[in-house]
A and B are shown apart, each in its own frame.
Chain A
Amino acid sequence: MSRGRFLVPLAAVAMLLLVGVNAATTRAVLPTAPTISPQDLAWYMVTDAVDASNAASVVSSPVDASAAASIARGVLARPDTNVTILQARAQRIASEPARLAWVVLFNGGNAPHGGPAGATQFPVHMTGVIIDAQTGSLMSVFMH
């Protein structure tokens, strides 16, 4: 085996490692898209959620996912581009029927902490804005 034939695979491995490190660095820098469990969504009166990027599962509506995201950014005054959009059935309040809605999830948020005197603050890792898919109106906001 000549030195050249030995060096080529070494260089390839080095390149792969570099690409891997780069990718890992990139992933670490970019904010992670938020996720939320069905149980937690149920707490916010959101059911039957599907990822809006899965076109086959999304029902057509007067307000589309992109418009809902734009409305949600306005509600929170946040320009985030890395949001997760779900289509779901959602209730504005528990005593009203469920409607077709968009749920736009943002990373983090500025949660207040009311609570009793002496209580500790709890961090919030996600802020969700629920938009009526028929009218584009704000239904509610949640943080978790």
Chain B
Amino acid sequence: MRRLGARARSISAGSLILLLAAELAAAGPIVRPALALTCNLGTTHDNNARQLSIAVWPATTPVGVKADIINYDPVYTAYNGAGTNMSVLLAGTGLTGWNQLGWIKYNFQQTRWIYIESEPGSHWQLWPAQAVGTLTWYEIDFNPNPPSPYFSFYVNGSNYSNGPNGAWPVSYQVMAETHDIHDQMPGDNSHYAGIVGPPQYKLQGGSWQTITSTMGTAFPSLFGVYNLNPGYYVWDKRCS
């Protein structure tokens, strides 16, 4: 008892957070019950994009990015059509071309979808989304070999689509994203969204590696990000 008490006293607040995070990681993602969410998102709209993101520009061509992403159902007000997503992405120079894969919620009946956005040319593909609270592994591969470089898109290991559209990738990214201050970033104070396990990337001629750059946000007063090392929990501090 004495030893236990001494140990308990020695546990700092930081350690408690780490213990809590470890327990959460062990338990897996928490399913948010329908209608249990309350958000204080204010009364104004601004149509501005905000991200919790990892964005890396490596010295050699990135040919793959993948992450195990928690399916979450955020509050989306549909003030604009741009929606809310969690996704992986391979982008070209100048961000005029890219391929993006993940889940999105936007104003098709306020519904969540699995989606690919391929630019330039505005190619979009949508499939019914997987259940809230489950994990989905999203992966984009780039085959750079001539004469026909192409991208392949995988959802939980199934090849969903292939195509040559996009731009020669120079950046890999993993993100949670909203497009209006009045929309909820995935996650809330009680039920996190995020990435479980290490998000990974692959460079041309290499093998899969853990992304070491950390996820961050320019809006820490609005959004939380917790590094599970590996993985991240993300949430909107305005929602419980």
Contact = CB atoms under 8 A, between A and B. Distances in A.
Given A76-B108, A114-B87, A114-B177, A94 B161 contact: yes
Interface stretch (B77-85, B138-146, B194-202): B77-85
Contacts, number: 112
A114 B128 CA distance: 18
Contact of B81 (A45, A77, A112, A144): A112
Contacts of A115: 89, 91, 95, 98, 100, 117, 119
A60 B95 CA distance: 46
A70 to B, nearest CB: 16
A142 B126 CA distance: 6
Interface in B98-136: 98, 100, 102, 104, 106-109, 113, 115, 117-128
A93 B161 contact: yes
Which secondary structure characterizes the binding site on chain B? strand
A13 B161 CA distance: 56
B127 A93 contact: yes
B84 to A, nearest CB: 9
A113 B158 contact: no
A141 B82 contact: no
B71 interface: no
A114 B104 contact: yes
A44 B163 CA distance: 9
Interface of A: 40, 43-45, 75-77, 92-95, 110-124, 138, 140-144
